[in-house]
Amino acid sequence: MREKNPRSGMRRREFIALLSSAAVTWPFATRAEQSPVPVIGLLGSDAAPAQSEWTAAFLQRLRELGWSEGRNIIIDYRWGEGHSERFSEIAAEFVQRKVTLILTHNTPPTLAAKQATSTIPIVFATAGDPIGAGIVPSLARPGSNITGLSSQTPDAAGKRLELFQQVVPGLHRLATLADVDNPYAALGIELLSFEIRRSEELDSVFDALKRRADALYVLPVPLSFANRTRINTLALSARLPTLYGVREYVEAGGLMSYGPNWPSMWRRAADLVDKILRGAKPAEIPIEQPMEFDLVINLTTAKALGLSMPDKLLALANAVIE
């Protein structure tokens, strides 16, 4: 009869204990080695309901690219609601939280994000004039940590005015609600610029506009977007035809708009976000330009102003609101 070796039994127990320890610790070690779920800080210029269509377009495209909110990506939504001072506060909060990427919309939030960080990647879904606003030095080579999509606001201004003159043929004095380079001088139109910083200034601005302008061009900035319904109400009371760069203002009662399709741009922003999350550097991703431009006309507003829409213009429209 063979005697048991006490050392052999000891080694066997130690081996079993080692296996048990590995079985417990191995899953935790694996999880620790996995990269954390990326967090996108979405800095909305307006309120959530107002941007729901753009956000939905962005999320849909992310899903098509393999990203599922709550599963392999987290989105931290913050809303500026048209208040410029909130943009810097939100951007600072994102930097403090150390989000993976900041997504912005419109020029002021993008500038706030740029001021807050030079390391966290920033993607802007829209910006009227990225070079002129100082967001990037070049569309082809944005440099630093920023890339996105340009709305080509200066480039589209001439075409926008050309279409508008078909509706308001006697247009000689055009008022704007923000400082803007004068792209209309060659067309023989006097430009009256009015700058607003707070919604409380709207009443006084429209008092100043009465009997001084033939029409009103409102730039698509966060403050005007948040107050678009009120602006249209005041403009209608002042008998001023309104011109816009994006359709959302016309859906809120404005007369007409010509400009890029923002939901389409938000979808394309998702492609840029996907590239960066997969390792691309923002500095090496050229600024994209819009592929879709929409002409939108509000016939109800036109009738209220006593204006007739040319059939040729209606035939060109992407959407007619009645």
DSSP string, 122-162: EEES--S-TTTTTS-S-SS---TTEEEB---HHHHHHHHHH
pLDDT at 279 over 90: yes
Average pLDDT over residues 223-247: 94
Would you state the pLDDT for residue 189?
67
What are the boundaries of each domain within the chain? 39-151+262-291, 153-260+294-321
- Name the residue among 131, 153, 126 with its Cα closest to residue 272: 126
Percent of the chain clearing pLDDT 90 (strictly above): 63
pLDDT at 202 over 50: yes
Mean pLDDT of the chain: 85
Average pLDDT over residues 225-251: 94
Residues 278, 139: Cα–Cα separation, whole Å: 22
Average pLDDT over residues 258-283: 96
> What is the helix (H) or strand (E) element at residue 44, kind and residue range?
strand 39-44
pLDDT at 272 over 60: yes
Most confident of 13-17, 34-38, 234-238: 234-238
- Looking at CATH, the fold of the domain delimited by 39-151+262-291 is given as Rossmann fold (3.40.50)
Residues 282, 197: Cα–Cα separation, whole Å: 31
Would you state the pLDDT for residue 222?
85
pTM for this model (two decimals): 0.80
Average pLDDT over residues 169-182: 73
Q: Is 242 helix (H, G, I), strand (E, B) or coil?
A: strand
Contacts of 89 (CB under 8 A, 6+ apart): none
- Name the residue among 95, 72, 96 with its Cα closest to residue 277: 72
Residues 100, 294: Cα–Cα separation, whole Å: 33
Of the listed ranges 65-74, 168-177, 277-286, the least confidently predicted one is: 168-177
Confidence of residue 188 (pLDDT cuts 50, 70, 90): low
- Name the residue among 193, 204, 209, 228 with its Cα closest to residue 82: 228
pLDDT at 110 over 60: yes
Say how many CA atoms lie within 13 Å of 270 toward its Cβ.
23
Q: Which two tokens stand for residue 244?
A: 């816009």
CA 22, 24, 27, 28 torsion-angle sign: negative
CATH number of 153-260+294-321: 3.40.50.2300
pLDDT at 124 over 70: yes
pLDDT at 34 over 90: no
pLDDT at 305 over 70: yes
Q: Is 314 helix (H, G, I), strand (E, B) or coil?
A: helix
The answer to whether the 39-151+262-291 and 153-260+294-321 domains have the same CATH topology is yes
CB atoms within 10 A of CB 312: 8
Residues 225, 246: Cα–Cα separation, whole Å: 10
Average pLDDT over residues 43-57: 93
Most confident of 9-18, 62-71, 172-181, 183-192: 62-71
Would you state the pLDDT for residue 314?
95
Would you state the pLDDT for residue 15?
41
Confidence of residue 66 (pLDDT cuts 50, 70, 90): very high
Is the separation of the CB atoms in 308 and 302 below 8 Å? Answer: yes
Q: Which two tokens stand for residue 166?
A: 């078909």
Average pLDDT over residues 196-217: 88
Confidence of residue 1 (pLDDT cuts 50, 70, 90): very low
- Name the residue among 257, 252, 197, 321 with its Cα closest to residue 50: 252
Would you state the pLDDT for residue 211?
79
In total, the chain counts a number of residues equal to 322
Confidence of residue 2 (pLDDT cuts 50, 70, 90): very low
Contacts of 238 (CB under 8 A, 6+ apart): 206, 209, 210
